[in-house]
Amino acid sequence: MKIISVSNVKGGVGKTTTAAVLSAGLTARGYKVLMIDSDPQTNLTMCFMPEPTDGTPSLYHVYAEGKTLDEVKTSIKLNLDLVIGDFELCNADMQFLKAGRLKMLRKAFKELKSTYDFVVIDTPPNLGILSLNAFLVSDYIIVPMAADSFSLKGVRLLKQTLDEVEEETEKEVSVVGLLLTKYSDRTNVSRLLEKSVNSAAELLNTKVFESRIRQATVLQESQIAKIDLLEYAPKAPVTTDYQAFIDELLNRIEV
Ligand SMILES: Nc1ncnc2c1ncn2[C@@H]1O[C@H](COP(=O)(O)OP(=O)(O)O)[C@@H](O)[C@H]1O
Ligand SMILES: [Mg+2]
């Protein structure tokens, strides 16, 4: 089982979209996948679930009541499960400040009985307790970046946090790549931005994925329709971008 977190301290860069399309893409390739919505904004949940989700067990119950992932997961379709997010987690940093709460997710994974090939965790745009818990269990981190909101400072903070996590767990948490999203025109990207993104990759000891995800409104359409992109628009150019990214990712992590 490989655990992959999608993270960036910036919002609106395509974390949730990437987590959703990646998960559906891995399932379509025959893998069994568990998604965890670890952002209190619950956008990943909204990509797949009818609203309201009141009464459905969520990640909040793992943190607050020590429920197991098996107890709180919801089946989306064959080989695709989701632990839904919860707005209640928006004060997780305050509520779960006590010692031990940094490793809640790790404990939950130790107790996991179901088997999965991949777990994909969507994280909030900050480095609080929910992101730390995700990093502590992750084998790989994908960092989506959008040209319009690039932040080298954010990358530095992420790097610092990952270094601390590595010390804590004594295992490598590898940034498997930077993914350029909302990409418009290759020729339009300023040399400055290319340079910045490469410096960011260097800082994180990783490479930029060659596959870039173009700007495309069909992504929003599929999210509103609550149908995953691969089913909603199998032939759209942006779907091809994401498929190429998934191939590249699988190559990088050698499965
Ligand atoms: N490649 C893209 N082209 C156009 N819109 C996109 C693209 N990727 C994401 N979006 C849209 O941008 C918004 C933010 O994306 P999202 O994945 O939720 O970012 P994050 O999780 O990083 O905050 C959403 O409305 C989403 O539909
Ligand atoms: Mg998001």
The pLDDT tens digits of the residues spanning 122-133 come to 999 999 999 999
Nearest in space to 63 (alpha carbons), one of 81, 90, 42, 35: 90
The reply to whether ligand 1 has any atom less than 6 angstroms from the CB of 13 is yes
**DSSP letters for the chain:** -EEEEE--SSSSSSHHHHHHHHHHHHHHTT--EEEEE--TT-HHHHHHS-S--TTS-BHHHHHHH---HHHH-EEEETTEEEEB--GGGGGHHHHT-STTGGGHHHHHHHT--S--SEEEEE--SS-SHHHHHHHHH-SEEEEEEEGGG--HHHHHHHHHHHHHHHHHHSS--EEEEEEEESB--GGGS-HHHHHHHHHHHHHTT--B-S---B--THHHHHHHHT--HHHH-TTSHHHHHHHHHHHHHHHHTT-
Please choose from 220, 228, 229 the residue to mutate so as to test ligand 1's pocket, defined by most ligand atoms within 8 A of CB. Answer: 220
Would you list the domain boundaries of the chain?
A: 2-252
What is the tens place of the pLDDT at every residue in 189-238? Answer: 656 677 789 999 999 999 999 999 999 999 999 999 999 999 999 999 99
State how far the Cα of 230 lies from the Cα of 93, in Å rounded to an integer.
35
For the entire predicted model, the pTM comes to 0.97
pLDDT at 85 over 80: yes
Q: Which ligand is nearest to the CA of 10?
A: 1
Distance of CA 17 to the CA centre of its chain: 9
What's the full length of the chain, in residues?
Answer: 255
Kindly give the number of the ligand 1 atom that is closest to the alpha carbon of 20: 17
The reply to whether ligand 1 has any atom less than 6 angstroms from the CB of 11 is yes
Kindly give the number of the ligand 1 atom that is closest to the alpha carbon of 183: 1
Ligand 1 atom 27: the closest Cα is on which residue? 220
The reply to whether ligand 1 has any atom less than 6 angstroms from the CB of 12 is yes
- Please, which pLDDT band fits residue 99 given cuts at 50, 70 and 90? low
What is the tens place of the pLDDT at every residue in 42-64? Answer: 999 999 999 889 899 999 999 99
Kindly give the number of the ligand 1 atom that is closest to the alpha carbon of 241: 1
The reply to whether ligand 1 has any atom less than 6 angstroms from the CB of 215 is yes
Class of domain 2-252: alpha beta
Residues near 161 by beta carbon (within 8 Å), at least 6 away in sequence: 127, 131, 132, 135
Write down the pLDDT at residue 159. 96
Ligand 1 atom 25: the closest Cα is on which residue? 220
Ligand 1 atom 3: the closest Cα is on which residue? 215
